[in-house]
Amino acid sequence: MTMTDPISDFLTRVRNAVQAGKDRCDVPASKLKLELSKILQEEGFIRTFKVLEEGPQGTLRIYLRYSSDGEPVIHGLQRISRPGLRVYRGTSKLPQVRSGIGVAVVSTSKGLMSDARARELRLGGEIMCRVW
């Protein structure tokens, strides 16, 4: 089966696991998903992740994060740029998610990074998704 948008699949699997109250979720591994997971971990939305060498491409296991009272840290995941409608923004037009509480993931010429990091480096790019 051919997948046209693996990032949407990644976000949907994580969103479904959070809504079901799961401790972890597994997604097919790729370099882009690995970088996206690194950003989610750096920003404190997931506990950790690891790559399992299963099958032809491997599996990315993501350990989700919850507060002490069981409330999920991730409240929302939204895909912005998609295959049918790419969304690009310059440095001055990068979105600020929930007044800085959330993070927008930006694909720049220097790689995938958070919106705050892109502003710091004065880089624009494709707005991949936002997380809050």
Buried b (16+ CB within 10 A) or exposed e, 8-22: eebbebbbebbeeee
Could you tell me the residue range of the domain that residue 30 belongs to? 6-64
- ∠ CA(121), CA(6), CA(129), 5° rounding? 40
Q: What is the CATH number of the domain that holds 39?
A: 3.30.1370.30
Q: What is the spatial distance between Cα 49 and Cα 24, in angstroms, rounded to a whole number?
A: 9
Q: Residue 71: inside a domain, yes or no?
A: no
**pLDDT tens, position by position, for the chain (132 residues)?**
567 899 999 999 999 999 999 999 999 999 999 999 999 999 999 999 999 998 889 999 999 999 999 999 999 999 999 999 999 999 999 999 988 899 999 999 999 999 999 999 999 999 999 999
Q: How many domains does the chain have?
A: 2
pLDDT of residue 3: 75
